Amino acid sequence: MGNDGGSIPRRNEMVREKKQDEKTDRKTQLIAMNYFCALSKQPLREPVVGDMLGRLYNRESILEYLLNPTVFGDGAKICNIKSLKDVKTLNLKANPAYTTGQPGKRSVLTFDDQPTAPFVCPITRKEMNGNLGFEFVWTCGCVVSTQARKEMADSDQCLVCSGPVDSKDVVPINSQNSEVLDSLRKRAEERALETKKKGKKVKSKRKHVDEPDVSDTRSSVSVLDKNTKAQKTVA
């Protein structure tokens, strides 16, 4: 052992290399999630939509998927989108620096350096490249960095459009935290139930408006019968 001119790697060196590989894989994954549509794997371009778990898609890809669920192969495994009600069109701030060095036609696997992100936070101007947390508001679709919202933690208004914001409607973008994802799934279920209840109420109101008032109808018939009898008596 060792007489062949080679060297035996130490355990700490192997552990260091493994951690470096994991870091590289995570960086590649974050680039893929923040630069490319989760369905089509094409570069994100407006209009961009987000689902209830914070994943990003090109809107045109969602439309293609809804028309043909097999168009992207494993689409059903990637998302659980049944209609456009399951996604929100995002209000994104374009990055002025995104003119050269875009992902373009290159595969995310070929990236050696961090590419220029297509979008930035409208408040801090930080790039949405996976290095910092970003989130959007489900009610209005505005996208900001988590840092910007924390700096304005006392505000109950959207930092972009000034609309009302409920903390339950804030969706972290591409979160890898299992607890956060479980919370988002629970909120998605609650939102689906709320939408279903609202639909039933609207349907009930429409039915009530369309149905004739039976008591008024009977009263009108009674008056008509009396007038008819009176006319016969006079005749």
Tens digits of per-residue pLDDT, 155-201? 889 999 999 999 899 999 999 899 999 999 999 899 888 877 877 66
Which range, 56-60, 72-76, 226-230, has the best average confidence (pLDDT)? 56-60
Quick one: three-class SS letters along 76-136?
HHHCCCCCHHHEEECECEECCCCCCCCCCCCCHHHCCCCCCCCEECCCCCCECCCCCCEEE
Q: Cα-Cα-Cα-Cα dihedral of 218, 224, 226, 232, to 10°?
A: -150
Q: What is the pLDDT of residue 155?
A: 81
pTM value surpassing 0.85? no
**Residue among 98, 85, 188, 90 at smallest CA distance from 135:** 90
Annotate 60-71 with b (16+ C-beta within 10 A) or e (fewer). Answer: ebbebbbeeeee
Sheet order of strands, 87-89 included: 56-58, 48-51, 87-89
Q: What is the pLDDT of residue 108?
A: 46
